Structure 1
Amino acid sequence: MWIALPIISLVAFMSARTEFAQHNGIGALPLAIVLGIIVGNLLANQPVTARSLAILEFSKKKLLRAGIILFGSHLTLTQLAAVGWQAAILDMLVISTVLSVGYILGVRMLGMGREETILISVGSAVCGAAAILATEPVLKAKQQDVSVAVATVVVFGTLALFCYPFIFHISQLSSESFGIYIGSTVHEVAQAVAAGQAIDMQAMNNAVVVKLMRVMMLAPVVIIIAALYQRKNTATQTSTAQAIPWPWFVFGFIAMVIFNSLFNLPEPVVSTLQISAQLLLTIAMTALGLQTKFSAVKAAGTKPLLLSATLFSLLLGGGFMAHQLLY
């Protein structure tokens, strides 16, 4: 199965760079997941060798972390300052609300597992599938939980693209202000580009910067989740329980943002770093897709869909109200 990994990754990566894909918000990461799922299920009856499994796990974990670190090259502190302090407050408010509501609804009201609930919530709150895979190691979640979380985030993240133009026409917001709203509520970076383009260039620019600001917040979010989850496990399990691994790679992401801000790197270097980050993340998402089985998603039932649909509505509706309060 591992032979399909580079082929699918390259197809997804190159397809996402076409004008059609960029105009319609078809990013390399969601496309890699979808293609990986299709191929993985077509090859479901094929035996998975130890070599294939090792390569898929390496891609899904090691390459993902390297990609997230390099993704810091997309952002500078100057860009953050340009959209104002309100955008940072809005992002933090959206993330904290979605995570809190998601946990209460999923665990306490729907009776879902903690790991599955947190993965769905963090994927909705921060940056889609990449956030799910970044959080998975600190939860030691099952592959089924990861697959279900990614599937629901891809579905509702795509659905959001059709909602933003309609909301813009009834919102009476300026394109600049609406771009900030898009960035604070959309799931994926590529979707921020597409949704912003549907309005105008100023909306797209603000959407991308605010979205990247949310991506940057993945670092503290994963660290906080790791600390809270470790404390919960310590309180409920025996002293021999294994420690939850800390996501040290998020500090690499922050360091890359700072480095990119302090040093005026040549454009070819920055472009190489950004392309490398996108390619590594695409390979990681392909590996995830290849390990996602329809049977696992079906077995999860309707609760994950209900949770994701609620968080999707909260992002669009609650995010708009929070935007109005701050702006």
Structure 2
Amino acid sequence: MSVTQRNVQRATTGSSRVLLAGLITACGAGLAYLVNLAVPAVGTLTAAVLLGVLAGNVPVLPPSTRPALQHTTRWLLRSGIVLLGLQLAVSQLLELGPGTVLAVLLTVAVGFLGTVALGRALGVGRGLSVLVATGFSICGASAIAAMEGVVRRRDEDVATAIALVTLYGTLAIAAIPLAGPAVGLTGDRLGEWAGVSVHEVGQVVAAAAPAGAGAVAAAIVVKLSRVVLLAPLVAGVSLTERRALAGTGGTRPPVLPLFVIGFLVMVAVRSTGMVPGPALAAAEVLTEIALAGALFGLGTSVELRALVRTGPRALLLGLLSTLLIAGTGGALLRLLA
């Protein structure tokens, strides 16, 4: 076989694997949507991760498709993060009031820095600690995907952080409505607490739903105010990494990955008020589809045996981070909002 024939064969095989990976992620996202329809308490994104973990730990995926699946996952995640910017307008933040905005800012700061410190105290690696801190304090798996490109970490750290976000975010869906009345947070205020404390957007909606439609609306706006802090947080960590690598010859990460810049551009576009409602609705659907497919793909990379080997320290870090963020958010809302 000539060199040209081998190159053609290799390209054809690669294209086939990419198409198969796309089909697999589409099926995963579709199944997650059906799970959400059947069990509304389980959000589409949460279901996508769980289905991905299941698919990745039983012998159903051909090993040859995994590299293409990782490429597809990365593309979908970054596209989803860019589109996520269209869900947030600056005017929404201004409507929250200075007390609530300050509570969100302080909760994110305490949650991120506190989780990194807890990880150091527990002996958890810095890469995993930063990823967990980002996912828990900002917006779950999407934030982890944005941060993993600028922080030094192992590949398994990303999968572990995603698994922890899914586990503790799912538990929060039940815990927040139960604990709210006990700490004096009910109605719309309980929605704000869910928005400032729970990890994924879908999990936030599910946690606030028992308190009514007003609580859900409040929860979403507060949650999106955390999402907008993704860009400055990634930039801050990136600058720290660049300083640490200065003079070592190592490849320094960009100050802001291109897709995070795209997210900020979409926030600016939405803030102009010129995007028609149908386009925003379509973008919201596309965002969920992209993120569901991406989180299914990320789930397939979670090796349960590796997660077990990580041991109780990572699980304890996730628990303590969840309690820290929920406790700080609830206290600050009562004090400032």
Question: Which of 248, 251, 254 does residue 242 from structure 1 map onto?
Answer: 251
1:268 equivalent to 2:278? Answer yes
Gaps of 5+ in 1: none
Q: Is the 8 A contact 1:71 1:274 kept in 2?
A: yes
Q: Distance in 2 between matches of 1:284 and 1:193?
A: 20
Q: Distance in 2 between matches of 1:277 and 1:58?
A: 18
Structure 2-normalised TM-score?
0.88
Counterpart of 1:28 in structure 2 is: 44
Q: Tell me how far 1:326 sits from its aligned partner.
A: 0.7
Q: Distance in 1 between matches of 2:27 and 2:328?
A: 40
Q: Tell me how far 1:256 sits from its aligned partner.
A: 0.8
- Report the AA paired with residue 296 of structure 1: A
Q: Tell me how far 1:14 sits from its aligned partner.
A: 4.0
- Report the AA paired with residue 66 of structure 1: S
Q: Distance in 2 between matches of 1:219 and 1:140?
A: 18
Q: Distance in 2 between matches of 1:39 and 1:69?
A: 27
1:48 equivalent to 2:83? Answer no
Q: Tell me how far 1:255 sits from its aligned partner.
A: 1.4
Counterpart of 2:320 in structure 1 is: 310
1:112 equivalent to 2:112? Answer no
Q: Is the 8 A contact 1:37 1:291 kept in 2?
A: yes
Q: Is the 8 A contact 2:49 2:299 kept in 1?
A: yes
Corresponding residue pairs, total:
316
- Report the AA paired with residue 43 of structure 1: P
Question: Which of 213, 217, 237 does residue 205 from structure 1 map onto?
Answer: 217
- Report the AA paired with residue 216 of structure 1: V
- Secondary structure (helix, strand or coil) at the match of 1:198 reads helix
1:218 equivalent to 2:234? Answer no
Question: Identity over the aligned pairs, expressed in percent?
Answer: 31
Q: Distance in 2 between matches of 1:60 and 1:140?
A: 20
Q: Is the 8 A contact 1:147 1:296 kept in 2?
A: no
1:166 equivalent to 2:178? Answer yes
Q: Distance in 1 between matches of 2:34 and 2:272?
A: 31
Counterpart of 2:3 in structure 1 is: none
Counterpart of 2:311 in structure 1 is: 301
Counterpart of 1:12 in structure 2 is: 32
Greater alpha carbon shift after TM alignment, 303-312 vs 79-88: 79-88
Q: Is the 8 A contact 2:185 2:193 kept in 1?
A: no
Q: Tell me how far 1:95 sits from its aligned partner.
A: 1.1
Deviations, residues 104-127 of structure 1 (Å, cap 9, x unaligned): 1212x1222110111111111111
Counterpart of 2:97 in structure 1 is: 84
Greater alpha carbon shift after TM alignment, 270-279 vs 1-10: 1-10
Greater alpha carbon shift after TM alignment, 281-290 vs 2-11: 2-11
**Mapping of 1:188-203 within 5 angstroms?**
188-203=200-215
Runs of 4+ in 1 over 6 A off after TM superposition: none
Q: Distance in 1 between matches of 2:98 and 2:111?
A: 20
1:289 equivalent to 2:299? Answer yes
- Secondary structure (helix, strand or coil) at the match of 2:54 reads helix
Q: Distance in 2 between matches of 1:207 and 1:314?
A: 19
Q: What's the C-alpha RMSD, in Å, of the aligned pairs?
A: 1.8
- Report the AA paired with residue 32 of structure 1: A
- Report the AA paired with residue 158 of structure 1: T
Q: Tell me how far 1:174 sits from its aligned partner.
A: 4.9
Counterpart of 2:11 in structure 1 is: none
Deviations, residues 16-69 of structure 1 (Å, cap 9, x unaligned): 3x2x543x1x2222211110110111027x6522xx234222222222111111
Deviations, residues 104-152 of structure 1 (Å, cap 9, x unaligned): 1212x12221101111111111111111111111125322111111111
- Secondary structure (helix, strand or coil) at the match of 1:208 reads helix
Q: Distance in 2 between matches of 1:195 and 1:265?
A: 29
Q: Tell me how far 1:264 sits from its aligned partner.
A: 3.1
Rate the CA distance shift 1:21–1:216 in 2: closer, same or farther, 3 A: farther
Q: Is the 8 A contact 2:93 2:225 kept in 1?
A: yes
Structure 1-normalised TM-score?
0.91
